[in-house]
Structure 1
């Protein structure tokens, strides 16, 4: 199930950058369509994440990973909506990068992730 979750994450990140580039290129019609498809990939990421949740015992790290994942998805949406309206700021990208890195590191440190130590 982990590989399905990682595939959904990869697809979501790829679509995020494609939609952002389309908004930057002022191709709003195709960007809006792909943005809606991108929102569907959010659901796949959330669903597979919640399926993975009960596979191991409850811990604070797992709950914080869920919260970080939801915040990352929220910041992704904020970046795209602000870009579609040309109100993007550096802080939007900064929050996105910080939340994405912290979420990935938290996921790798959990028992279903890789052993980094």
Structure 2
């Protein structure tokens, strides 16, 4: 694994943990965004668990690269869904979800190239 892939994965993990933390603590900004895209409040903890599972899988990927790649694929799919949810309701502010999608794609590509 290269230095670049380690940096990208660590930044992605930090972003996932921060995002999950905001969901679990019902941070006002995150809850407002989730309401905008139509996520029922009862499902928010499940999204946080998915983010934490993705972060854990990415970290395990340092020791078992194939699991890290599998986790990166899942994180990419998670954020494809997030971007789609924004677009579905006409929300064009893709700063957070689009940025995380780009970062997760970068982590996937770099992890796969350095396996």
- Relative to the length of structure 1, the TM-score reads 0.43
Structure label with greater radius of gyration? 1
Instruction: Specify which structure has the bigger relative contact order, considering alpha-carbon pairs within 8 angstroms and separated by 6 or more residues.
Output: 2
